[in-house]
Amino acid sequence: MRETRVRIGALVGLGIPEFEARRYDAKIRKGNILISVHTEDGKQKDIAQGVFKRNHADGISSASEASVK
C-alpha cells in the first residue's frame, strides 16, 4: 500500500492529475509499463507518438508544461 501512495505522489508531483495517477498506478500494478518522454516541440512530440503507435502502445497521451514567468 505504501508503494502505491509513493508512486501516486510521485506522479502527482510531476504534474499528472491525481485521477490519472491512480489509473496509471493500477496499470503498473497489473504489470504494465509507464513511459514518459520530454520533447522540445510539437514535431518531436509527433515523432514520439508515432513510435508508440507503430509499436501498439496503449493509452498514449500528451500534456504541456506550464510556462514559468
DSSP labels, 2-45: HHHHHHHHHHHHTT--HHHHHHHHHHHHTT--------SSHHHH
What is the model's pTM?
A: 0.70
- List Cβ neighbours of 25 (8 Å cut-off, separation of 6 or more): 4, 7, 8, 11
Give the pLDDT of residue 67: 62
Average pLDDT, consecutive stretches of 10 residues, N- to C-terminus, the chain (69 residues): 90 90 94 92 95 93 70
Cell (9 digits) for 33: 509499463
Give the pLDDT of residue 60: 87
Cell (9 digits) for 14: 510531476
Tell me, what amino acid is at 60? Answer: I
